[in-house]
Amino acid sequence: MEYLAINPSAPGPLRRLQRIKHIRTLITSLVYWVTLMRRVPELDVVHVFSPSYWAFLLGPVPAMLAGRFFGKAVILNYHSGEARDHLQRFGWHVLPLLRLADRIVVPSEYLVEVFAEFGLHAEAIHNFVDVEQVPFRRRNAVRPALLSNRNLEAHYNVGAVLEAFQRVQAAVPSATLVVAGDGAERDTLRERAVTLGLRSVSFTGPVPPGDMPALYDAADIFVNASLIDNMPLSILEAYAAGLPVVTSDAGGIPKIASHEQTALLVPDADPQAMAAAIQRLLTDPCLGQRLTAAGRELVMSTFSWGAVGPAWIRLYLRLAGSHR
C-alpha cells in the first residue's frame, strides 16, 4: 500500500516557487501529476479520497484519469456532506467525471441516497473509529464540561454551540466549553464568544489527531450544531470515548444518531433546544449512562475496523481481480 499526497513538495529550486501565491497551485499540481504518472502503473487499485467543489477537480480527478489511463481499478471514496449541493450546482461537469470510477464508495447510507437522486450508484462502507486510540471513560455523573470538535466553517454552525453554551452557563456558572478546530470562522467565533459574555471558553486551534483522545477524555458532553453534514467521525469518536452527544439532525446524522437512544437530537440546531438537551444530561445521570452505553455498542458493532475492514478488503480483491 502506498499513500500519495495531493499537495506534494516540489524538488529543488521549484520548492521556492511553492511559496508564491497562485504559482504555488500550478507547481504543486504539476508535481502531483508527475507523481501519479510515475506511481500509478505500479498499483492494482487506485483508492481516491474525495471532497467537494474545487478540491474535487484538483485532487481526485487527476488520480482517476491516471487510473483509467493505465487500466487500473479506481475507487472514488466520496465523503463530503455537501454532496447534494455539489451535484446540483455543478452536475453538468461533475457527473461525467464521477463515472470515471469503477466504484463510488461513501461512508453512509445517506450519501447512497443522495447519489441515487442523480442517477449514480454508490455503495456504503462506513467510516471507522480506532477504538484502541480513543480511551473509554464511564461517566457516572455528567459534569458541565462541553466539547465541540468541528472545523470552524459556516456550515458547521459553531456559533449556535456558543449561543447554547451561553444559556447553559447562565444556569450553571461553572460550565466550560472547549472549541477544537480551525477554519475561516475562527476570528468571528472568538468575537462572538466575547459579545455573548462567555467565560471558560477555550479555542484550541488545529488539533493533531493524536491529541484529540485527551480532549474527548477531559470532556463530559459532546455538542454539534452542523447545518450540512454526512456522517461526522467526531460523533462516532465521542461515542467511543463514552461521551453523551447532543447534536443537530442535519443531513446523514440521523443515520448514526437515534434520538433518546444513542444521542439527543435537536431539530434545526436550535440553540435554546440544544441548551435544554444539555441541561437534561446534567440533571439526569441515568440518561447519559444509557446514551453512552448504546453509543459505545454502536461503534463497536458497526464502526470499528473489525466491522468495516472486511468490506474494504473484499472490494479491493474483487476490483484488483477484475482488472488483471
Does 222 have pLDDT greater than 80? yes
Does 18 have pLDDT greater than 60? no
Per-residue model confidence (pLDDT) at position 300: 94
Angle ∠(149,154,158) on CA atoms, nearest 5: 40
Residue 222 backbone phi and psi in degrees, to 5: -100, 135
Q: How confident is the model at residue 323 (pLDDT cuts 50, 70, 90)?
A: low
Per-residue model confidence (pLDDT) at position 230: 86
Residue 246 backbone phi and psi in degrees, to 5: -115, 120
Does 200 have pLDDT greater than 70? yes
Residue 135: CB atoms within 10 Å: 13
| Contact indicator for 68, 46 with CB cutoff of 8 Å | no
Does 259 have pLDDT greater than 80? yes
- 60-92 pLDDT tens trace: 999 999 999 999 999 999 988 888 888 888 878
Among residues 81, 253, 164, which one has the least CA distance to residue 179?
A: 164
Residue 173 backbone phi and psi in degrees, to 5: -60, -25
Does 98 have pLDDT greater than 60? yes
| Contact indicator for 114, 91 with CB cutoff of 8 Å | no
- Cα 89 to chain centroid distance, Å, stands at 22
> What percent of the chain clears pLDDT 90, i.e. is strictly above it?
72
- d(CA 79, CA 76) in angstroms, rounded, equals 9
Angle ∠(154,160,161) on CA atoms, nearest 5: 110
b or e along 208-224 (b: 16 or more beta carbons within 10 Å of the residue's beta carbon)? eeeebbebbbebbbbbb
Per-residue model confidence (pLDDT) at position 136: 93
Q: How confident is the model at residue 10 (pLDDT cuts 50, 70, 90)?
A: low
In the beta sheet, which residues pair with residue 223?
Answer: 246
Among residues 92, 36, 86, which one has the least CA distance to residue 64?
A: 36
SS3 109: helix
Q: What are the grid coordinates assigned to 136, written together?
A: 473509554
DSSP string computed for 76-100:
EEE--TTHHHHHHHHHHHHHHHHTT
Which ranges in the chain are annotated with CATH 3.40.50.2000? 145-288
Q: How confident is the model at residue 256 (pLDDT cuts 50, 70, 90)?
A: very high
Per-residue model confidence (pLDDT) at position 83: 85
Does 25 have pLDDT greater than 90? no
Whole-number mean pLDDT of the chain? 91
Q: How confident is the model at residue 31 (pLDDT cuts 50, 70, 90)?
A: confident
Using the structure block, give the residue that is written with the C-alpha cell 458493532. 301
Q: How confident is the model at residue 149 (pLDDT cuts 50, 70, 90)?
A: very high
| Contact indicator for 142, 223 with CB cutoff of 8 Å | no
The phi-psi region of residue 148 (left if phi > 0; otherwise alpha if psi is between -120 and 50; otherwise beta) is beta
Does 213 have pLDDT greater than 80? yes
Q: How confident is the model at residue 40 (pLDDT cuts 50, 70, 90)?
A: very high
- d(CA 61, CA 95) in angstroms, rounded, equals 12
Per-residue model confidence (pLDDT) at position 262: 97
Using the structure block, give the residue that is written with the C-alpha cell 452557563. 169
Q: What is the CA radius of gyration of the chain?
A: 21
Q: What is the DSSP letter of 181?
A: B
Superfamily of domain 145-288: Glycogen Phosphorylase B; (3.40.50.2000)
Does 132 have pLDDT greater than 80? yes
If you average pLDDT over residues 308-316, what whole number do you get? Answer: 93
If you average pLDDT over residues 42-56, what whole number do you get? Answer: 89
Q: Does domain 43-128+305-322 have CATH number 2.40.160?
A: no
Using the structure block, give the residue that is written with the C-alpha cell 452527544. 245
Q: How confident is the model at residue 106 (pLDDT cuts 50, 70, 90)?
A: very high
Q: Which residue did the predictor score with more confidence, 92 or 281?
A: 281
Q: What are the grid coordinates assigned to 251, written together?
A: 443531513
For the chain, how are helix, strand and coil distributed in percent, rounded to 5? 50, 15, 35
